[in-house]
């Protein structure tokens, strides 16, 4: 019975709408599959978890902004790690860049509350570090260089004017 529920969640992750408990379940399934070297199953679970995290960012449950932003970061990083482990460093870099770019966009979004923007900015430090670690581990990557430059410019432009 429990196995059928797990497969059901992986097969149709948003049948009952996205939720943090469903995201957590899929993330645990992905981690469990990755630890058992079941990469295809891990990829599927992580991709579904990322889909849910993106939907949760669109409409976070009340009081759960922090959790939803963290879920988005973790989902990107889990998939990036799996790609890197498989030797696909470009896909890993792309996912790390997407996470960072998404958080910078959320930080600068006038449509979000100040609290939400602060949370996104705080988590962008984690994505920034992940990009730097990728560079340290695998060497220069043009997409990462561009993402870091663009983020720096965007955040500088949005800051207070200096005299």
The answer to whether 6 touches 38, Cβ cutoff 8 Å, is no
Is residue 31 in some structural domain?
A: yes
Is residue 105 in some structural domain?
A: yes
pLDDT, tens only, 49-81: 999 999 999 999 999 999 999 999 999 999 999
CATH code: domain of residue 86: 1.25.40
Domain range holding 35?
A: 2-155
pLDDT, tens only, 10-40: 454 445 678 999 999 999 999 999 999 999 9
Count of domains observed in the chain: 1
For the entire predicted model, the pTM comes to 0.86
pLDDT over 70 (residue 145): yes
Is residue 162 in some structural domain?
A: no
Is residue 125 in some structural domain?
A: yes
Helix (H, G, I), strand (E, B), or coil: what is residue 36?
Answer: coil
In the structure, what pLDDT confidence band is assigned to residue 159 with cuts at 50, 70 and 90? Answer: low
For residue 12, what is the DSSP state?
A: -
The answer to whether 53 touches 19, Cβ cutoff 8 Å, is no
């Amino acid at each position: 019975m429990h196995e059928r529920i797990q497969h059901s969640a992986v097969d149709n992750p948003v049948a009952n709408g996205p939720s943090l408990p469903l995201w957590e379940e899929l993330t645990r399934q992905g981690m469990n599959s990755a630890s058992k070297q079941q990469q295809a199953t891990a990829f599927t679970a992580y991709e579904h978890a990322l889909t849910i995290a993106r939907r949760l960012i669109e409409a976070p449950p009340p009081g759960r902004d922090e959790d939803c932003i963290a879920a988005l970061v973790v989902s990107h990083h889990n998939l990036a790690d799996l790609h890197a482990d498989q030797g696909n460093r470009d896909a890993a870099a792309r996912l790390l860049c997407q996470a960072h770019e998404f958080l910078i966009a959320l930080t600068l979004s006038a449509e979000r509350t100040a609290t939400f923007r602060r949370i996104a900015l705080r988590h962008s430090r984690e994505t920034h570090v992940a990009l730097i670690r990728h560079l340290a581990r695998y060497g220069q990557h043009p997409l990462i260089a561009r993402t870091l430059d663009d983020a720096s410019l965007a955040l500088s432009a949005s800051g207070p004017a200096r005299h």
